[in-house]
Amino acid sequence: MKKILVVSVNWLGDVVFSTPVFRALKMAYPAARICVLAVPRVKEVLELCPDVDQVIVYDEDGKARGIGGKIGAGLALRGMKFDAVFILRRSLSRSFVVWLAGIPVRVGFASDAWQWLLTRRVDDKGCDQLHRSDVYLHVLEAFGVKVRERSARLAVGRDVCELLATKLRAKGLTGDERIVVLNTGGNWDLKQWPEERFAELAARLTRELGFTIVLCGGEADLLRVRSIAQASGVNPVVLAGETNIKELAALFKRAHMVVSADSGPLHLANAVGANVVALFGPTRPEITGPQGQGRIKVLLRDVGCNHAPCYYLECPDNRCMKALTVDDVFKTFKILKD
């Protein structure tokens, strides 16, 4: 095969988990061009993957919206003449698009009603018990592709590292500091560690171990991050809302350690080689634990209701995350810091 398309998943962490897919394809078909069809919000992550040759934006809220947009996307792909496509998650609309594209080999998950859109339907029985990365690799393995490397790997270019260094200098950092990055957010509230604990951790890491604390996040995290910074009393560097995905990856690469709940940034950090302390509560590390290049310490307390991933968004007390104390994190940090 000379030209292969992968239909990507939609969220930052899941995209990180999918990176071994591209490495496996490159190893199996070293002369092939590997392209990815992806929503706009994950484009930058995929551009950090050394095994991806091209990212094709698939904007379901824009150009690819509605049936007309899907037809247009399929016809555009038809002109690119792919030999095979691997669809990493079950999706009727995307299976329809690649069917319209006339790609001769179409591999992925499908329901009975529309399996005819694919040339090779992958059995997803038991996949809900697998790590997300293994689910995506299962699509390739079902086709006969051998997987030799299962860890998530991303690479940050020197130009991006220089841009990040410029932003840090503007914040008063010279480049010699030992940085700890605290990612305080999460894509849903249940996964977030309490603000006051992040503030206390920042204070202890600064006063007792001499680290420089950087608080990252998006614009939506600014109020929480500023509140944590003020409560900490140690004047941490606030970068929330000031970095794009690639610069955030460069920040993690620069860091001595990253502390984060289960979230996209946690997995991004570990994939670029950062050592991470991962705070788990309602989700399970067996399913969404970090699998990157850096050292990993997962903290998870059994509180009785989190033996399986929990999606009870109306949980009244979030006790699984509150069960993790500042002492738990700090002690773990002292072990990993050297």
Same domain as 138, residue 41: yes
Contacts of 218 (CB under 8 A, 6+ apart): 185, 240, 241
* Both structure tokens of 190: 């249940």
**Token pair belonging to 56:** 């094709």
- Domain-terminating residue out of 120, 143, 166: 143
3-state secondary structure 144-192: CCCCCCCCCCCCCCHHHHHHHHHHHHHCCCCCCCCEEEEECCCCCHHHC
Residue with the two structure tokens 């600064």: 206
Contact (Cβ atoms closer than 8 angstroms) between residue 172 and residue 204: no
Query: Do the domain assignments include residue 153?
Result: no
Q: Do 116 and 163 fall into the same domain?
A: no
| Residue 150: inside a domain | no
Same domain membership, residue 210 and residue 182: yes
Any domain includes 151: no
Q: Residue 314 sits in which domain range? A: 158-336
Question: How many domains in the chain?
Answer: 2
Q: How far is CA 126 from CA 10, 86, 131, 132, 180, in A?
A: 22, 19, 11, 12, 38
Residue 148 domain-assigned (yes or no): no
Strand partners, 128: none
Same domain, 272 and 232: yes
Answer yes or no: are the C-beta atoms of 174 and 50 closer than 8 Å: no
Q: Is 31 helix (H, G, I), strand (E, B) or coil?
A: coil
> Looking at the structure, do residues 120 and 213 belong to the same domain, yes or no?
no
Which of 92, 117, 143 marks a domain boundary?
143
Report helix, strand or coil for 216: strand
State the Cα–Cα distance between residues 60 and 219, nearest whole angstrom.
23
pLDDT at 207: 96
Which pLDDT value is given to residue 309? 86
Which residue type sits at 41?
Answer: R
Query: Which of the listed residues 116, 143, 170 is the one where a domain comes to its end?
Result: 143
Q: What is the pLDDT of residue 310?
A: 82
Structural domain includes residue 39: yes
pLDDT of residue 337: 56
Number of Cβ within a 10 Å radius of residue 21: 27
> Could you tell me which residues are beta bridge partners of residue 60?
none
Q: Which helix (H) or strand (E) holds 74?
A: helix 66-78
- What per-residue confidence (pLDDT) applies to 336? 60
Inside any domain, residue 56: yes
Q: How is residue 325 written in tokens?
A: 């104390």
Q: Are residues 174 and 105 in the same domain?
A: no
Same-domain check for residues 162 and 296: yes
Does residue 121 form part of some domain? yes
110 and 174 belong to one structural domain: no
In a shared domain, residues 108 and 133: yes
Same domain, 170 and 286: yes
Give the CATH number of the domain where residue 88 resides: 3.40.50.2000
Residues of the chain with pLDDT under 50: none
Phi-psi region of 66 (alpha: psi -120 to 50; beta: other; left: phi over 0): left
- Same domain for 40 and 186, yes or no, is no
Any domain includes 79: yes
**Distance between CA 160 and CA 151 in Å, rounded?**
23
Residue keyed to tokens 């392209």: 35
The answer on 205 and 135 residing in a single domain is no
Closest CA to 248 of 21, 12, 56: 12
Tell me if 262 sits within 8 A of 179, measured CB to CB: no
